[in-house]
Amino acid sequence: MLIKACTPSSVLLVCLGNICRSPTAEEIFRQQAAIAGLSLKVDSAGTGDWHIGHAPDERSQRHAKSHGYNISKLVARQVSADDFRQFDLILAMDSQNLADLQAIKDSLTDPVDTLAKLALFSEEDPTYGGDDVPDPYHGDAEDFEEVIKRIESSAQAWIESWKTC
């Protein structure tokens, strides 16, 4: 599912628990969009409900901070039906999250053209296109660093793709 649309006004980034990948992606995307001069509403959420109200994982905070990203004030939340109405584009960190999001979208009674477009976060990335952003939760420091590298690359790829609209 290739999305070639002009710049959205709002982007939601989604992973499983909203404590590692998606909050990191939220801040990276926000900073890269600002640098590119884009005015975007950026948020993140999780498909699961285990960490609602919690700050991002301390390891994610530490690795993000070492790259100039402060995610310490973000708070985990679960994706809701309203997110499909309030965001133009929802980007999933992996194929399972994308399938879960599609199931939620399919259950809504709104006209499909009024709901957010869904895509895999890496979809536009020439380096990681179609790859899942691996969940570092059960990993080590290298896994958290790999996530930042992939998120920076894919966020930049989305922003570049909107310049050609």
Q: How many CB atoms lie within 10 A of CB 18?
A: 29
- How far is Cα 139 from Cα 133, in angstroms, rounded to an integer? 13
**Phi, psi of 92, rounded to the nearest 5 degrees:** -95, 140
Query: Considering 15, 57, 83, 150, which one is annotated as catalytic?
Result: 15
**Catalytic status, residue 135:** yes
Rounded (10°) CA dihedral 64, 67, 71, 76: -30
Query: Considering 21, 30, 77, 150, which one is annotated as catalytic?
Result: 21
The secondary structure of residue 112, as a DSSP letter, is G
Q: Which two tokens stand for residue 36?
A: 């590119």
**Catalytic status, residue 150:** no
**Catalytic status, residue 165:** no
Query: Considering 43, 83, 125, 135, which one is annotated as catalytic?
Result: 135
Active site residues: 15, 21, 135
